[in-house]
Amino acid sequence: MAQHKICQIESCCKRHEAKGYCAAHYRRLTLYGSPMGGRRRSSSSSRDCSVPGCLREHRARGYCFTHYKQWEHRGFDEAARPVQKGEPARYLDGNGYVVFRAAGHIAADASGRVLEHRAVMAEKLGRPLLKGENVHHINGNRADNRLENLELWVTLQPSGQRPADLLAWAHEIIARYDGCQI
């Protein structure tokens, strides 16, 4: 029968899991810096988040969990910059679009969530986007919301294909966008 390694702590007879320690002693080593346990590292520890003013313990790349997630989505400069009071917090959603929260904004949905590219286009038009209007990113980068990278697209179309329906729809589009500089 093969011999199992045991924990290197003298009074411990548990099976070795990682770095010579049993699971309990290894967990204490990662949490407290010592396999025997003790207090959590102090706020003056080098294991603090590297963002100025943040006292949370770092998890990865020198950031706490919150700032690491910000770094993942926005890059180093934005993660390290603290959000100013009153400034809407910007983040990337799961589809790669820049989102911020601003209740009452011209392009906000019911929860106050605003897709930045729609807000930029709505401000350019001076009105909220209408049903069937979409904003297209010319270069394909959903986070690049410069006005010169955005185009207004209309996807509204009649359900039928009769010429009279198409002609009525064409007159509606001409009336809506005639003289519009986009």
* Whole-Å CA distances, 110 to 92, 113, 126, 173: 19, 7, 20, 28
C-alpha–C-alpha distance, residues 152 and 146, integer Å: 13
C-alpha–C-alpha distance, residues 152 and 125, integer Å: 10
Q: pLDDT tens digit string along 28-76?
A: 877 777 787 765 544 444 567 776 667 777 777 677 777 777 767 665 5
Per the listing, tokens 């706020």 go with 43
C-alpha–C-alpha distance, residues 91 and 63, integer Å: 17
Section 8-31 average pLDDT? 83
Section 79-107 average pLDDT? 68
Per the listing, tokens 């407290």 go with 32
Given a cut of 80, is residue 128 above it in pLDDT? yes
Instruction: Delimit the domains of the chain by residue range.
Output: 1-39, 49-82, 91-182
Q: pLDDT tens digit string along 98-118?
A: 888 776 777 677 767 788 899
